[in-house]
Amino acid sequence: GQNIDQPTEMTATEGAIVQINCTYQTSGFNGLFWYQQHAGEAPTFLSYNVLDGLEEKGRFSSFLSRSKGYSYLLLKELQMKDSASYLCAVVDSNYQLIWGAGTKLIIKP
């Protein structure tokens, strides 16, 4: 079967750095998305990786290792507004999105 694993919840301090991991086992791979979802709101696009390596976009970076079936989202200089759920989603061989359950990130002052 297809599987996406993320930690259920993480806590970090304002101003710090946090890394949210995602491991996947899917039938084929055509890229990996990270989405941010604030409570009660819609998911919004953060990043898309299809090649190995790190992609940096401001305070957020996303890393991919296809051989390890592994990705992480790195958030720097955490702000209170970063409190949200972070969803990992993999595009499988049929170009369908397989979603993880998300990681709820709690930021403390």
Partner 1 sequence: DTAVSQTPKYLVTQMGNDKSIKCEQNLGHDTMYWYKQDSKKFLKIMFSYNNKELIINETVPNRFSPKSPDKAHLNLHINSLELGDSAVYFCASSPLSLAGDVETQYFGPGTRLLVL
User: At its nearest, how many Å lie between partner 1 and the CB of residue 41?
Assistant: 7
Distance CA 70, CA 78 (A): 23
Distance CA 14, CA 36 (A): 18
Is 37 or 61 the residue whose CB approaches partner 1 more closely?
A: 37
Is 31 or 83 the residue whose CB approaches partner 1 more closely?
A: 31
* Contact partners, residue 10, CB within 8 Å, separation at least 6: 18, 20, 103, 104, 105, 106
Q: Are strands 9-13 and 103-108 parallel, antiparallel or unpaired?
A: parallel
List interacting residues with partner 1 (CB under 8 A).
30-31, 33, 40-45, 48, 50, 85, 87, 89, 91, 95-97, 99, 101-102
User: At its nearest, how many Å lie between partner 1 and the CB of residue 16?
Assistant: 24
Is 61 or 96 the residue whose CB approaches partner 1 more closely?
A: 96
